Structure 1
Amino acid sequence: MESLTLVQQLAVWALPVLLAVTLHEAAHGYVARALGDSTAAQLGRLSLNPLRHIDPVGTVLVPGLLLAMGGFLFGWAKPVPVNPARLKQGRRSMAWVAVAGPLANLAMAIGWAILLKLLLVSGAEGGMATGLRYMALAGMAINILLMVLNLLPLPPLDGSRVLGGFLPPQQAQLLDRIEPYGLIILLALLFTGVLGFILWPLYGAVDGVVRGLTGLVS
């Protein structure tokens, strides 16, 4: 992406980022409804409309600034509301609701990789074809990153909900108590470089699997 201007980079990343956060959050809501909780639907959040899920700071400002600075792309959307008490199997169902978001990102990463493979096989060059190749690469990157980031077992990330669904109740409650400090911990890990140290090997592993499944050469 180094050869692109800032405006070009924003144009390339805008659609993949919007799709990544929208379908991630929508997946939580749809699975929650299937498992007994219709809270998201009642509040109008069970939607594929990006405007329902965009957080002006987390989805627009922070990623835009980080992209402009050439740093670690990081952001968030408005969480889809889920009431665990309404789920059929409580915490166990909540684990399925939580993992739905990262799985949606994995599916999107594979979809973007298939698009990239088709573009490469077609041999199309220049203009729209080049823009779509950059966009496909961006789509793979943001979705893989969101997947591995959200699977970290740190509240309020999805990984903590997945882990909490299989822990004994007392240990799960201890994990929940970390949540008020979770974002502060996450930002501290980000700015100290520890988050990148944890994420990049996981990112590389998932990227390798996605490229292997779709026949792309790393």
Structure 2
Amino acid sequence: MNWDSFLAYPLEQIPYVLIALILAFSLHEWAHAYVAYQFGDPTAKNQGRLTLNPAVHVEPVGLIMIFLLGFGWARPVPVNRFYFRNPRLAGILVSIAGPISNLALAFLFMMVWYFLKTMGWMDWFSEANYKMVYQLFNTIIYLNIVLFIFNLLPFPPLDGYRIIEDVAPPNVRAKLTQYENYGVVIFLILAITPLGSYVFPPIFQVAVPYVLKTMGSLFI
């Protein structure tokens, strides 16, 4: 049976994608929880979410859906804005913490790869092991950049939408709240139907190479 026809990723890439997503989701949700806690909200901490343990952040169904449809989700961190002294500022920083953590993880693995190559340590690996390590690093870097960009898109319930909510003046914010449910429906339609191929790939085709090039230029 050709399993590739049922999956969003080639079968041989599944282990690398799985590792990359577990790392990305765990750090992303922990970052939300950590920043919320720093601003006085203990909700996530009280629910055991202030940890990097993947078991509390990874949503099994959401993870499986990524491999089947190319779209999925982690377990959202609960945030109670009533604890924030400055809800708008805290809300912005809590929201942006997740995407920034993915960008930081991509940068970290790019830096480690550059160090391993520069020191010549990758030369110690056999050709097969070299390819495995390269594929793992490449997948982690690429998917974390994709998640960084994806989560900043202005669709509810993504982080980008939450940031716009907190930046917008009260009258605009009221309108956003009024139509938020419609936005969620539109986003889901784009995410799980072929219509999304007209929206998301063009964004990634421009933004991902730009971010990669920008980060890579720091090591030249």
Report the TM-score, using the length of structure 1 for normalisation.
0.85
Deviates more, 1:88-97 or 1:201-210: 201-210
Residue 26, structure 1, aligned to residue 30, structure 2: yes
Aligned to 1:151: 152
* Structure 2 Cα separation of the partners of residues 22 and 165 of structure 1: 25
Unaligned runs of 5+ in 2: 1-8
* Structure 1 Cα separation of the partners of residues 10 and 200 of structure 2: 25
| Larger Rg belongs to | 2
- 1:47-91 Cα deviation digits (max 9, x unpaired): 111010111121x2112224xxxxxx4322011000112112012
* Structure 2 Cα separation of the partners of residues 129 and 115 of structure 1: 14
- 1:124-155 Cα deviation digits (max 9, x unpaired): 24233321110111011110010001111211
| DSSP-derived class of the 1:16 partner | helix
**Counterpart among 200, 208, 212 of residue 213 in structure 2:** 208
Aligned to 2:103: 106
* Structure 1 Cα separation of the partners of residues 52 and 166 of structure 2: 27
* Structure 2 Cα separation of the partners of residues 214 and 181 of structure 1: 44
Q: Where has structure 1 moved over 4 Å in runs of 4 or more?
A: none
**Counterpart among 83, 86, 91 of residue 88 in structure 2:** 91
Please, what is the CA RMSD of the aligned residues?
A: 2.1
- Counting only pairs closer than 5 Å after superposition, residues 54-93 of structure 1 correspond to structure 2 as 54-58=58-62, 60-66=63-69, 73-93=70-90
* Structure 2 Cα separation of the partners of residues 201 and 6 of structure 1: 23
* Structure 2 Cα separation of the partners of residues 182 and 56 of structure 1: 25
* Structure 2 Cα separation of the partners of residues 183 and 203 of structure 1: 24
Residue 50, structure 1, aligned to residue 85, structure 2: no
| DSSP-derived class of the 2:167 partner | coil
- Residues 97 and 114 of structure 1: CA distance in aligned 2, closer, same or farther (over 3 Å): same
- 1:15-66 Cα deviation digits (max 9, x unpaired): 11101011001000000000111110011111111010111121x2112224
Please report how far the alpha carbon of residue 120 of structure 1 lies from its aligned counterpart in structure 2 after TM superposition.
3.7
- Residues 74 and 97 of structure 1: CA distance in aligned 2, closer, same or farther (over 3 Å): same
> More helix by proportion, 1 or 2?
2
Unaligned runs of 5+ in 1: 67-72
Contact 2:154–2:160 (CA<8 Å) still a contact in 1?
yes
Report the TM-score, using the length of structure 2 for normalisation.
0.85
Number of aligned residues: 205
Contact 1:110–1:214 (CA<8 Å) still a contact in 2?
no
Matched AA of 2:61: V
Please report how far the alpha carbon of residue 213 of structure 1 lies from its aligned counterpart in structure 2 after TM superposition.
2.1
- Residues 62 and 183 of structure 1: CA distance in aligned 2, closer, same or farther (over 3 Å): farther
Contact 1:115–1:136 (CA<8 Å) still a contact in 2?
no
